[in-house]
Amino acid sequence: MQYFSTNNKTIKADFRQATVQGQPSDKGLYFPERIPQLPEDFIKNINNYSKEEIAFEVIKPYVGNTIDDASLKKIVDETVFFDFPLVKISDSISALELFHGPTLAFKDVGARFMSRCLSHFAKDEKRRITVLVATSGDTGGAVADAFYGVENVDVVILYPSGKVSDVQELQLTTLGKNITALEVEGSFDDCQRMVKDAFADKRLNEQLYLTSANSINVARWLPQQFYYFYAYQQWQNEAAPVISVPSGNFGNICAGLMAYSSGLPVQHFVAACNANDVIPQYLASGNYQTKQAVYTLSNAMDVANPSNFVRILEIFNHQLPSLKNAISSYSISDEETVAAIKEVRSNYDYLLDPHGAVGYVALRRYLNEHAEQKGYLLETAHPVKFNTEEFTGYKVEVPSSIQHLLKKEKKSTRMKADGNELKSFLLGEKSLV
């Protein structure tokens, strides 16, 4: 399998190069030359496969011959060792719970898969690899956990100061060792811009071996397809589901669209956005206009210029009518988010996190217009990571997997939203307080 840059299709790489490099030199994103088509028998008999077997079959064509089958199976086994239950909320709406991994967020799948791929590839490298990643919330913790202690790899995480939850911040700032957290005085979009500028800097890349663990990296983005297949394996209805995906940087829903394009039955996708409504506005008007990011309760989705949307355009050959046939998108306010958390807790005894609540409202809005259909939303993070008690009066029990974090002290380095300052820090030319 070869990958081309979304900015220049003559720039190509195999899976290994795309993973280690992270992003093409022209600031595009790597995209596969073809979308593999899964055998009809695989979909028809999906109940006969284990989670590990499904993941291997889905990802193998993308990896090609860059990783031998035995090593890839081991990587997959270590990636999907936890559960992905599809839980019924109401007669028409279910929730796919993606928070049963080590950091209680859907990012655990992509982060663990990528860390193990990179560890496999790093064995042949003569210098240390530096993983540079921006986070709006859950990516940082998942990447920190997945890469902690990985030999020959250093991780530098940028996050917007004051714009991630307390638990999220502890997850990415308390590990130490090969993990460094940079607290940026700005938004997630500032963090993402700084990371992209670093990858495009020739001098920096001559001195450091940089790669990214954001969903711009194919090894972080593509394995997110797995849980869409796990959901279908549990889907009890004859008609294919409508899938509502809380969407910020659009990597997750893009992975779902790849699964759909490979043969997974899906009725329709709903891109559930918060007040950062660039994509809902684009689908409504046909005009793509970026804005400043707005801070919301669903902070991991506070993205005003989603990187992965260009990949979605590639899937649909940049044809807006085809895209609109497959995706609807809604912007959900904080007020609607809070109301949904309260309502679902009261009426169905189910607790949504703010991101799942955005997905719930958007899905319900779509199903109100298509009463004969049913669907599920992606519950992307455990409610304990957010202050849902403020809305519901219900105290969430802290899972044992993160109780130890509450006793730890955060260790981060503050930084202005300045790309040059980041480069100086990475090169060891400037120390920061």
Question: Which residues does the annotation mark as catalytic?
Answer: 107
CB-based contact 170:159 (threshold 8 Å) = no
DSSP states of 304-363: SS-TTHHHHHHHTTT-HHHHHHHEEEEE--HHHHHHHHHHHHHHHS----HHHHHHHHHH
Q: Rounded distance, CA 414 to CA 295, Å?
A: 20
AA identity, residue 158 = L
Q: Is 412 helix (H, G, I), strand (E, B) or coil?
A: coil
Q: Rounded distance, CA 51 to CA 35, Å?
A: 21
Edge-to-edge, what's the strand order for the sheet holding 179-185? 209-212, 129-134, 153-160, 179-185, 413-416
Q: Rounded distance, CA 357 to CA 37, Å?
A: 33
Q: At what angle do helices 107-122 and 69-79 cross, to 10 degrees?
A: 150
CB-based contact 106:380 (threshold 8 Å) = yes
Report which of 271, 282, 222 is spatially closest to residue 249, judged by C-alpha positions: 271
Kind and range of the H or E run holding 146: helix 138-147
DSSP state of 333: -
Tokens coding 363: 């899905």
CB-based contact 64:99 (threshold 8 Å) = no
The three-point CA angle 18-302-99 to 5° equals: 70
How many CB atoms are located within 10 Å of the residue 287 CB? Answer: 7
DSSP state of 165: -
Alpha carbon distance, N-terminus to C-terminus of the chain = 44
Residues in the chain: 433
